[in-house]
Amino acid sequence: MSKFLTTTAIALTMMAGAAKATDVEVLHWWTSGGEAAALNVLKEDLQSKGIGWVDMPVAGGGGEAAMTALRARVTAGDPPTAVQMLGFDILDWAEQGALGNLDEVAAAEGWDKVVPEALQKFSKYDGHWIAAPVNVHSTNWVWINKAALDAAGGKAPESWDELVAMLDKMKANGITPLAHGGQPWQDATVFDGVVLSKGNDFYKNAFIDLDPDTLGGADMADAFDRLMKLRTYVDDNFSGRDWNLASAMVIEGKAGMQMMGDWAKGEFLKAGQKPGADFVCIRFPGTQGSVTFNSDQFAMFNVSGDDKVKAQMEMASSIESPKFQSAFNVVKGSVPARTDVPDTDFDDCGKKGMKDLAEANTSGSLFGSMAHGHAAPASVKNAVYDVVTKAFNGGYKDGAEAAAALAEAVAAAQ
Ligand code: GAL
């Protein structure tokens, strides 16, 4: 009898399965502990709606490796259904006519009214919705081990000079002051904060407007000198280290701080740490009130088959639901991609992130992150990566030489 029931149950499940919308195959680079935990929120949400998940993870923070894998799939004529993507890369694929159209679901759910303008710039192409924004991250954060902070005087640094003083203290206290992974995108992430610490206008002129005089000028030379100074606080084994392993150094108290986007918070939370008690989040000293943002979006590729398109629409709709926006971003370390989600479930860093974003947005202090594809197209971003990484690794005699190289590289990349 029980065997009969089990067999019947399996048959019924299979029938239900056959009637479901098709699976979505999702290409992404969320492979660290915190990222995977956040991704699970999405997988489970879709599964509860009958949408199956075919995973295509491509490890590598910042998504460069994922974008290479994507190109190979598209070239082979077999794009995944949904792809995690950043800023200008989305527009690039849209321009090539590779993306589907989400207008119907966007209109039915009123995305125009709730998704901030700064994100719509990358979610829409030629007036049509082509991607569903999942979150807003920002890069100008510093994550400090609380015990290490207390041992270094307890007051979080608010300016460049205070930052350097604190790094010196941490060094004297016998820990690695700065946890860092030597990969171009991580060097560039630190540089977002460094450049922004020299002023909003400077960041905008250099990285958004790509003004040659600013890129090669005295302030940029000084920014590179700051970056080279930060290099002196990193341990000997930093080359090639993954960002989440650098986070682990801070979590374990082996290092004092990490300069990284708020996906780092996902690692602290995954390790059971609490903001305020175990770690402290501050804006990169000198950038309080300003935000360099990047937004993960799922771009939907052109696929054939009504059931596949239906699954894409359902995925897009799930992602934009206010409930999902809260549940996912609480775990991911980011903040919601819509303006009407309450901050109730967010921790203090998340609440600060939401408040900072809203204020920066109204005061003109919100800028796309160069390191994460929201300031300039990939060709320029890669040129910046090259110079920044070379500078971090001592490849120029001083900041002035690096700034001159940057102006030249950006000009050549356009
Ligand atoms: C960023 C992405 C984040 C996070 C990070 C490290 O580009 O926006 O969601 O995953 O890379 O992998």
Tens digits of per-residue pLDDT, 141-191?
999 999 999 999 999 999 999 999 999 999 999 999 999 999 999 999 999
Give distance in angstroms: CA of 23 to centre of ligand 1.
Answer: 24
Measured CA to CA, the distance from residue 154 to residue 374 in angstroms comes to: 34
Say if strands 82-86 and 124-125 run parallel, antiparallel, or are unpaired: unpaired
Nearest CA to ligand 1 atom 4: 263
Nearest CA to ligand 1 atom 12: 61
CATH code for the domain defined by 2-138+294-361 = 3.40.190.10
Instruction: Calculate mean pLDDT across residues 44-52.
Output: 92
Is the pLDDT confidence value at 325 over 50?
A: yes
Domain residues of the chain, as ranges? Answer: 2-138+294-361, 141-292+370-413
pLDDT for 22 equals: 79
Instruction: Calculate mean pLDDT across residues 101-114.
Output: 98
Residue 5 has pLDDT above 90, yes or no: no
Mutation test of ligand 1: which of 26, 27, 29 has the most ligand atoms closer than 8 Å to its C-beta?
Answer: 29
Task: Give burial (CB, 10 Å; 0-12/13-18/19+) of 107.
Answer: exposed
Distance 62 CA to ligand 1 centre (A): 5
* Ligand 1 atom at minimum distance from 63 CA: 7
Entry pTM: 0.94
Domain 141-292+370-413, second-level architecture = 3-Layer(aba) Sandwich (3.40)
Average pLDDT, the chain: 95
Q: Please, is 7 exposed, middle or buried when counting C-beta atoms within 10 Å of its C-beta (0-12, 13-18, 19+)?
A: exposed
Looking at the chain, the whole-number percentage of residues with pLDDT higher than 70 is 95
Kindly give, in sequence order, each residue whose CB lies less than 8 Å from that of residue 18, ignoring residues fewer than 6 positions away: none
